[in-house]
Structure 1
Amino acid sequence: MLHRKKLLCWIAAGLSLCLQAQAQVSLDNGWKFRQGDDTAWAAPAFNDDGWKAIKVGTPWEYQGYDNYDGYGWYRLHVKIPASLRSGSANPGDLRIELGKIDDGDEVYLNGKRIGANAGKKGSIKKGPYDALRVYRVGQNDPAIRWDGDNVIAVRVYDHSGNGGMWEGPYRLSITDITDDVQIDPGASGFSLGDHQAGKSVTLHSSHDTYRFSGMLHLAVIDPQDGKTVWEKTVPAAFSAGKDFHYTFTASVPEQRSYQLRYTFRDSRSDKDVTAVEGIPYILTPPAPPTPRINGAKIAGVRPGHPFLFRIPATGAAPLRFSAAGLPAGLKLDPASGIITGSIDQAGAYTVKLTVSNKRGKATEDFRIVAGARIALTPAMGWNSWNCWGLSVSDAKVKASADAMVSKGLVSHGWTYINIDDGWERETRAANGEIVTNDKFPDMKKLADYVHDKGLKIGIYSSPGPRTCGGFLGSYQHELQDAKTYARWGIDYLKYDWCSYGNIAPKNPDLEALQKPYRVMQSAFKQIDRDIYFSLCQYGMGDVWKWGDHVGGNSWRTTGDIRDTWKSMSDIGFRQYISSPYAKPGNWNDPDMLVVGKVGWGPNLHNTRLSPDEQYTHISLWCLLSSPLLIGCDMSQLDDFTLSLLTNDEVLAVDQDPLGNQAKKVAEKGNIQIWAKNLEDGSKAVGIFNLGPKMTDADLDLSRLHRSGKQTLRDLWRQQDLGTFSGIYHAQHIPSHGVLLLKVSAARR
């Protein structure tokens, strides 16, 4: 479909970017697909009538190609109208945008190879799956059949997990002068003050010779009514290598959702480039100076195995801790609140925890269950992958443990410091033992460093011979590795399918899918340490139905998450499938959190999720009883991100001892309502707006099976909204935002 002379917008680098008055051809529909590999499939004359229709923007695993790894080809017939060339004020090349492709690709136009995304050695088997594919062809290139039938053929290779053309945009257009202008506010985070938001913005040019000169307009927009509540215009000039930087402070009337719009108009071409981002707003109230005990209310340990728990508490320092009823074998450090030791006798023990300071004291019951099950609440911690990727090191892990304490996250129940891929040496020791590489000089010493802070440490491996990053896996060394992990003091193992796909049958049955995890389960039974077992195989074979039977404490239900609305929402709002299988000791894992500064190592950027989308992300993951693993650089936590991660009433939804996972109870238009049963008889309810505009929504309390008057509490703001019965009318839910409530019977 051809669109002409209207405002076009898409998401890139965390912003909505818009170009004016540019013609385009949509490539969203009409694609065909075939598994396998044959270069003859690039030819325009090839007959693809027998190929299956497929949607782009969704992995092929979601479209009937379960667990398929390898080559696949997409083909599309499209008319390229010559009128495209007249739709641009400054015509350039034909631009073909094909979104993101997992993992690598080659692209052909009418049989001519016009580009590829491949690894360092040129193989598309190692392509950058998160890179946007944009290919350019000169207007006079004979490969283009103007006003005729054209064939775009895309050769894809997927080495593991999800595959295919998984995220747009998909379109044809002509490059324009605006292609060379980038508005970048992402290099600077927001500085938030009383009704103010300050930051810097940078304008770049990628044009070799053109010098842009014009005006930069900044405006704060209220999404409730679309009105501008603050604006400013300044002159701007820049060229390649000579950026324009501007620092400003905008006025923000209230602590709620607002948008900041940047518009640069070039005086010579009279064309605009616009970027829009959300302004962060903090809802979490600061913790009071009086003592308060936070975090999980229950913990599991196997008899005779080491126990480690740091009491999460807030309040003005110094705090003092005590515990009445500790079972034999455990001891408490009254200054740090760290409980250590082991319990020989199986049983359930109720311990009365007390924390005090000069302002008062707080007391909570805490249950310790010595038995067969651990992970009685979902894991809360940090994982290195989403920020450091394969560049993780001993120093970065220590810095993360330090930040967990210094930023106060330990006071809210965050516990694990997990090392992902990239710690192993190229070869094993002579006796077959796994050995760390030069980035990790002493894993036992590192584990002790983490444990001394009252935190737990995790590690990563694969049941295959190699990890996803090409490091050593545990294949045929499972028991040896388990014993090594226990000797080091490891508390958590992420076990990633990766190269085991080359060991398993091509289309593995249930027994073959379970086999590598059963082997490691057997190894864990032979060590004297509890190791949280995290299965990472992307949901193959409905792992949520059998993960418990192979010793899993949590299991990935999906492919890797990215810091985009499409990725996060597609994953999060599909979790109803696995909901019945979540329970204490067994958790569905929709992957790590993508808030803060992420980047998959070593270069980081601010998450591309808007503030409203981040509220949705945390709220939904807590409703889903998901493991909460921070994926950002914790040493660079800003106030907004910290507020997302330290709201105890929100985190309590995730850590509720009942272990229930939320279900979708209502859907109307762009509104979805999810509800979760809590141990105290109340319900946690998320009212989500998946649409592009702020809207109102009705919550029918009868859909929650609640009768009589109910007290509704806004969990992010930690405020009671009042007592209601029948229908509650929620107002002004932001686009991609949420209202997170606790619904409980009103006191008489």
Structure 2
Amino acid sequence: MRLSTLRVTCLSVAALSMFGSFIGNAQTDGLASRPPMGWNSWNHFHRNVDDAAVRAQADAMVSSGMRDAGYVYVNIDDTWQGERDAQGNIQANSRFPDMKALADYVHSKGLKIGIYSSPGALTCAKFAGSLGHEVQDARTYAAWGMDYLKYDLCGLREQMKVAATPEEAHKIMFDAYIKMRDALKATGRPIVYSLCQYGNDAVWRWGTEVGGNLWRTTGDISDKYSSMEAIGFSQAGLAKFAGPGHWNDPDMLEVGNGGMNADEYRTHMSLWAILAAPLLAGNDLSTMTAETKAMLTNRDVIAVDQDAAGKQGDRAWVEGPLEIWVRQLADGSKAVGVFNRHPSPLTTTVDFKALGFTRAVKARDIWQGKDMGTISAPFTAKIPGHGVLFLKVSQ
């Protein structure tokens, strides 16, 4: 959901002093030891998601090979909520007649299921949020069998706007996320906790402290190159805040939704893999083309994203619209993305010594699936407009 007015406030001196005590500490619950992979309903279905659509996506995730490639979560975004009963328990609306049965169906496919709420009284789409019902809602999600919660700040922004100081606004948000963290833990069910608050107050510095397994670092993505580019390349410098159990989240994938060309979608996938970002597909899996399926299930790309070392990559070099991003991998190799942000093809030279290699390297072109042999000198390549050369490089 879009937060129409981002309120970026400053952390108090006390909060900043606390920063060093928790940053970099992995979650102790074992959840999200690698960036979550799956599907979310919002980018394609928006308000039109229902029980049948979710079941169809679960079926397609299996039949397409996505499950076997590592995609696990089938996540329902906003607009599933109905009214609360006399005891205050949240009910699903008529489009979801039996959430427990739906969760059981998804689980029967060897998959997991996720749900959405807000710390405010209402969600972004003006459905019931969790304010004042955090414990009840967490218990309901656990009873239904939910495995993942996306918790969207949207509904809390009015309270934050009237706060007397930026520090007070931050505390309202901070405390709201802690309240749901504690409610989820009290259920005893392992539920991945996804903070959706658009990077407010530099969430990457404190997301772990409030229990986040992942946190949005940006506003909402859309199916346009300009949106994906602005979000993806803005992640420079955030690598030190990510690791097993706590990931930076530059938002969901748009691959296959039709607003970008193949080179642009490959840039999207490559950059998200280097960023150790969650890979949450946002297209209709039941109707996707063979090309889209091949991109989403490319095992070499997924291997980079899911690398066991859990080290997010970062920008290593830039020259105008040309950028090189590098990610250190567990086996000692590096994933290298050579990106061209210009709409026309450009030629550039990659000096592997400048990327930390001391002698000749072996390289594999990830998208071509081809070994490039031994490279002993700076390597010149022509990169398509808005495209990428994605390599795995070893000494």
8 A contact 2:205–2:241 mirrored in 1: yes
- 2:270 corresponds in structure 1 to 619
8 A contact 2:27–2:246 mirrored in 1: no
- Cα deviation, residue 553, structure 1: 0.5
Q: Which amino acid aligns with 2:292?
A: T
* Deviating more after overlay: 717-726 vs 705-714: 717-726
Q: Which of 66, 73, 81 lines up with 2:8 in the alignment?
A: 66
Structure 2 residue 22 is matched with structure 1 residue 378: no
Q: Whole-Å Cα distance in 1 between the matches of residues 265 and 109 of structure 2?
A: 29
With over 3 angstroms needed to count, the CA separation of the structure-2 counterparts of 1:612 and 1:405, relative to structure 1, is: same
Q: Which of 698, 703, 728 lines up with 2:354 in the alignment?
A: 703
With over 3 angstroms needed to count, the CA separation of the structure-2 counterparts of 1:412 and 1:718, relative to structure 1, is: same
Secondary structure at the aligned position of 2:175 is classed as: helix
- 1:498 corresponds in structure 2 to 154
Q: Which amino acid aligns with 2:196?
A: C
Q: Which of 450, 456, 481 lines up with 2:137 in the alignment?
A: 481
Q: Which of 67, 79, 87 lines up with 1:431 in the alignment?
A: 87
Q: Whole-Å Cα distance in 1 between the matches of residues 132 and 378 of structure 2?
A: 59
Q: Whole-Å Cα distance in 2 between the matches of residues 742 and 616 of structure 1?
A: 15
- 1:615-654 superposed matches below 5 A: 615-654=266-305
Q: Whole-Å Cα distance in 2 between the matches of residues 680 and 727 of structure 1?
A: 23
- Cα deviation, residue 505, structure 1: 4.8
- Cα deviation, residue 60, structure 1: 8.2
Q: Which of 451, 458, 463 lines up with 2:114 in the alignment?
A: 458
In our comparison, the structure showing a higher alpha carbon Rg is 1
Q: Which amino acid aligns with 1:589?
A: D
Secondary structure at the aligned position of 1:542 is classed as: helix
- Cα deviation, residue 533, structure 1: 0.3
Structure 2 residue 128 is matched with structure 1 residue 472: yes
- 1:320-719 superposed matches below 5 A: 372-425=29-82, 427-506=83-162, 508-509=166-167, 510-597=170-257, 607-719=258-370
Q: Larger relative contact order (C-alpha < 8 A, sep ≥ 6)?
A: 2
Q: What's the CA shift string for 1:511-544, capped at 9, x where partnerless?
A: 2331110001111221111100000000000001
- 1:151-162 superposed matches below 5 A: none
Q: Which amino acid aligns with 1:662?
A: G
- 1:227 corresponds in structure 2 to none
Q: What's the CA shift string for 1:42-75, capped at 9, x where partnerless?
A: xxxxxxxxxxxxxxxxx986xxx736xxxxxxxx
- 1:5-44 superposed matches below 5 A: none
Q: What's the CA shift string for 1:262-291, capped at 9, x where partnerless?
A: xxxxxxxxxxxxxxxxxxxxxxxxxxxxxx
Structure 2 residue 394 is matched with structure 1 residue 737: no
8 A contact 1:686–1:740 mirrored in 2: yes
- Cα deviation, residue 631, structure 1: 0.6
- Cα deviation, residue 596, structure 1: 1.4
TM-score calculated relative to the size of structure 2 = 0.91
Q: Whole-Å Cα distance in 1 between the matches of residues 277 and 28 of structure 2?
A: 23
Q: Whole-Å Cα distance in 2 between the matches of residues 563 and 574 of structure 1?
A: 17
Q: What's the CA shift string for 1:233-280, capped at 9, x where partnerless?
A: xxxxxxxxxxxxxxxxxxxxxxxxxxxxxxxxxxxxxxxxxxxxxxxx
- Cα deviation, residue 374, structure 1: 1.2
- Cα deviation, residue 610, structure 1: 1.4
Q: Whole-Å Cα distance in 2 between the matches of residues 521 and 487 of structure 1?
A: 17
8 A contact 1:661–1:676 mirrored in 2: yes
Q: Which amino acid aligns with 2:99?
A: M
- Cα deviation, residue 480, structure 1: 0.9
Q: What's the CA shift string for 1:217-237, capped at 9, x where partnerless?
A: xxxxxxxxxxxxxxxxxxxxx
With over 3 angstroms needed to count, the CA separation of the structure-2 counterparts of 1:651 and 1:475, relative to structure 1, is: same
8 A contact 2:107–2:113 mirrored in 1: yes
8 A contact 1:433–1:481 mirrored in 2: yes
Q: Whole-Å Cα distance in 1 between the matches of residues 356 and 373 of structure 2?
A: 19
8 A contact 2:27–2:245 mirrored in 1: no
The runs of 4+ residues in structure 1 deviating greater than 6 Å are: none
8 A contact 2:242–2:312 mirrored in 1: yes
Q: Which amino acid aligns with 2:358?
A: S
With over 3 angstroms needed to count, the CA separation of the structure-2 counterparts of 1:544 and 1:60, relative to structure 1, is: same
Q: What's the CA shift string for 1:634-659, capped at 9, x where partnerless?
A: 11110110111111011100000111
- 2:23 corresponds in structure 1 to none
Secondary structure at the aligned position of 2:237 is classed as: helix
- Cα deviation, residue 391, structure 1: 1.1
- Cα deviation, residue 677, structure 1: 0.5
Secondary structure at the aligned position of 2:391 is classed as: strand
Q: What's the CA shift string for 1:696-727, capped at 9, x where partnerless?
A: 11111122211112101101122111111341
8 A contact 1:394–1:439 mirrored in 2: yes
- The structure that is strand-richer by fraction is 1
Secondary structure at the aligned position of 1:526 is classed as: helix
Q: Which amino acid aligns with 1:66?
A: V
Q: Whole-Å Cα distance in 2 between the matches of residues 540 and 370 of structure 1?
A: 21
Q: Whole-Å Cα distance in 2 between the matches of residues 496 and 535 of structure 1?
A: 7
Q: Whole-Å Cα distance in 2 between the matches of residues 487 and 66 of structure 1?
A: 36
Q: Whole-Å Cα distance in 2 between the matches of residues 412 and 677 of structure 1?
A: 22
Q: Which amino acid aligns with 2:39?
A: W
With over 3 angstroms needed to count, the CA separation of the structure-2 counterparts of 1:697 and 1:490, relative to structure 1, is: same
- The structure that is helix-richer by fraction is 2
Q: Whole-Å Cα distance in 2 between the matches of residues 466 and 577 of structure 1?
A: 34
Q: Whole-Å Cα distance in 1 between the matches of residues 106 and 174 of structure 2?
A: 32
Q: Whole-Å Cα distance in 1 between the matches of residues 5 and 207 of structure 2?
A: 24
Secondary structure at the aligned position of 2:187 is classed as: coil
Q: Whole-Å Cα distance in 2 between the matches of residues 726 and 382 of structure 1?
A: 42
8 A contact 2:307–2:329 mirrored in 1: yes
Q: Whole-Å Cα distance in 1 between the matches of residues 313 and 372 of structure 2?
A: 22
8 A contact 1:505–1:512 mirrored in 2: no
TM-align CA RMSD: 1.8
TM-score calculated relative to the size of structure 1 = 0.49
Q: Which amino acid aligns with 2:197?
A: Q
